[in-house]
Amino acid sequence: MVLEEVLELRNVNQEIFSDKNIRVIFENLINKIDTDAKIRYENLRIIIYASSSLNLRIIYHYFNGLSLMKNIINCDIVNSSDSQRHFSNAEIDEDYLLKPPINDKLYFISPPSSPPEGWKPIQEPRPIIDEELRLALSKLIHSDKVELVSNNNNYPSIVLHKCEDSKSIFPNVKPAKTFMPPR
């Protein structure tokens, strides 16, 4: 929660709304006290009385701004015969504002410098290399074909053949140029 001082003026002098020069003078007076002050000009219609009321709302953050604001609103720029002033503290609820996400998965983003408690390294078994396949590949270098599994009643035979040169299978042909289709 953020507390802000709010000064609300009702039924102020109409020249603030119509004359830009007076509005600039008024805003300069406010900004001398608090450069972060926000001024909202509102032209509200009050339905109960069926009359329009010109309202000003000034939100300021200056600690001693209340007494200085009272001096400003008593000046001729703001004051009219039936003007009303209301000072209050506005509580701004920050729950509706966007916030960065909570970092609850830091372990997955960056592992810790030391392993967690109870962690033990796993001994991986040596990779299985089929010696028959290794022998067949070494024979293939010297001959054209090698029979890995001979033909029996239940299974067909498996024979490795040496591949031809890739250039003879796929000749170096450039594809024909085509035009781009109309858009």
CA–CA dist 150, 136 (Å, integer): 13
Q: Quick one: what percent of the chain has pLDDT higher than 90?
A: 0
The distance of Cα 89 from the centroid of its chain, to the nearest Å, equals 32
Q: Of 62, 95, 54, give the one whose Cα is nearest residue 78.
A: 54
Residue 50, token pair as written in the block? 């069926």
54: amino acid identity, one letter: L
pLDDT of residue 92: 59
CA–CA dist 53, 25 (Å, integer): 22
CA–CA dist 128, 134 (Å, integer): 11
Helices vs strands, H then E, count in the chain:
6, 6
Q: Residue 123 has what DSSP assignment?
A: -
pLDDT band at 46 (very low <50, low <70, confident <90, very high): very low
Q: Of 24, 94, 40, 36, give the one whose Cα is nearest residue 65.
A: 36
96: amino acid identity, one letter: Y
120: amino acid identity, one letter: K
pLDDT band at 75 (very low <50, low <70, confident <90, very high): low
How many residues does the structure list for the chain?
183
Q: Mean pLDDT across the chain, nearest whole number?
A: 66
pLDDT band at 45 (very low <50, low <70, confident <90, very high): very low
Q: Given a cut of 60, is residue 170 above it in pLDDT?
A: yes
- CATH class, range 2-95: alpha beta
pLDDT of residue 55: 46
User: Which whole number is the average pLDDT over 51-73?
Assistant: 49
Q: Given a cut of 80, is residue 122 above it in pLDDT?
A: yes
Residue spans of the domains in the chain: they are: 2-95, 131-169
* Whole-structure pTM value: 0.32
CA–CA dist 75, 25 (Å, integer): 12
178: amino acid identity, one letter: T
132: amino acid identity, one letter: E
pLDDT band at 49 (very low <50, low <70, confident <90, very high): very low
Give Cα separations from 179 to 97, 174, 175, 182 (angstroms): 54, 16, 13, 9
pLDDT of residue 125: 82
